[in-house]
């Protein structure tokens, strides 16, 4: 399987956020630098088709498999996420030194999977997870990526977690990360949609607006009455659409957090159908 790098230069304010939102379904990872963005994918044609409707200039190059991970690893830096003014989660690779000050430390193998904790969407979900009671709860992590959120759910006391992703690369990476973090309550599933035997207490989806809207009925069906829905991967401008959709599906206590033009939404499922 060939790997492709899309390189965008001279980006203006919020161009990188727009590109990540546009390519999040097709790309397996992103690297952000000053006024630059690198998007990595297995499917060059799909990315070109998406970008054809937008005035972004870019170059495309083929990356050999061995260089693919070497490049990502060489640029990977640990990330610390604070919650309630305390160091909550520290995410690092195995070759970084431990960080004893963090309440939770998660070790990941830095590969080209979305959700390393560096992006605002992942960090907002992590912060919101601090205020959710996971003790003995069942969880679905839809669009698990690296598996960080599923790992944090187990560390927070969840009794079982179903982590779903439609990308085989992400599933393989999540498998490694779950193993290195000594997790035993996470079941990984390669699938396009949620497939579960019974509703869960908490459902997390850090994907994008279109996928969330397309699966919102499914998410409601797989969430227990009074269960918690935690969503991210959406832009600030998406807030009215997602809040309206949630109300139409009988979700309540809807709250929206904004960070760097991205939002994280938490909602509670009504008891009635």
pLDDT in tens, the chain (273 residues): 678 889 999 888 778 878 888 887 788 777 777 788 888 888 899 999 999 989 999 999 987 765 556 665 666 778 888 887 788 999 988 888 898 889 999 998 766 555 566 678 888 999 999 999 999 999 999 999 889 999 999 999 999 999 999 888 789 889 999 999 999 999 999 999 999 989 999 999 998 888 999 999 999 999 999 999 999 988 899 999 999 999 999 999 999 999 888 899 999 998 765
User: What gap in Å lies between CA 203 and CA 92, rounded to an integer?
Assistant: 25
pTM (2 d.p.): 0.80
Output the CA angle 210-212-214, nearest 5 degrees: 70
Confidence at residue 270, expressed as pLDDT on a 0 to 100 scale: 85
Strand partners, 45: none
Q: What residues pair up with 11 in beta bridges, in sequence order?
A: none
* Burial of residue 224, with CB atoms counted within 10 A of its CB: 0-12 exposed, 13-18 middle, 19 or more buried: middle
Predicted confidence at residue 50, as pLDDT, reads 92
């Amino acid at each position: 399987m060939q790997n492709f790098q899309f390189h965008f230069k001279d980006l203006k304010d919020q161009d990188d956020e727009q590109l990540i939102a546009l390519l999040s379904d097709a790309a397996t990872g992103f690297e952000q630098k000053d006024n630059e963005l690198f998007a990595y994918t297995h499917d060059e044609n799909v990315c070109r088709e998406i970008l054809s409707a937008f005035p972004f200039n870019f170059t495309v190059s083929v990356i050999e498999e061995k260089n693919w991970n070497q490049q990502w690893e060489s640029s990977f830096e640990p990330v610390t996420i604070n919650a309630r003014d305390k160091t909550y989660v520290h995410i690092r690779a195995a070759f970084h030194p431990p960080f004893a000050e963090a309440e939770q430390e998660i070790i990941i193998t830095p590969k080209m999977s979305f959700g390393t904790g560096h992006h605002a969407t992942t960090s907002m979900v992590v912060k919101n997870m601090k205020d959710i009671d996971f003790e003995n709860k069942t969880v679905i992590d839809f669009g698990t990526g690296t598996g960080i959120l599923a790992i944090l759910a187990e560390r927070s006391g969840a009794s079982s977690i179903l982590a779903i992703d439609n990308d085989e690369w992400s599933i393989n990476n999540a498998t490694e990360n779950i193993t290195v973090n000594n997790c035993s309550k996470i079941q990984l599933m390669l699938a396009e949609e949620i497939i579960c035997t019974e509703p869960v207490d908490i459902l997390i989806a850090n994907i994008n607006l279109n996928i969330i809207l397309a699966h919102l009925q499914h998410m409601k069906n797989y969430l227990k009455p009074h269960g918690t829905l935690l969503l991210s991967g959406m832009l600030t401008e998406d807030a009215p659409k997602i809040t309206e959709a949630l109300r139409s599906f009988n979700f309540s206590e809807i709250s929206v957090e904004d960070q760097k033009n991205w939002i994280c939404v938490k909602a509670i499922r009504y008891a009635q159908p």
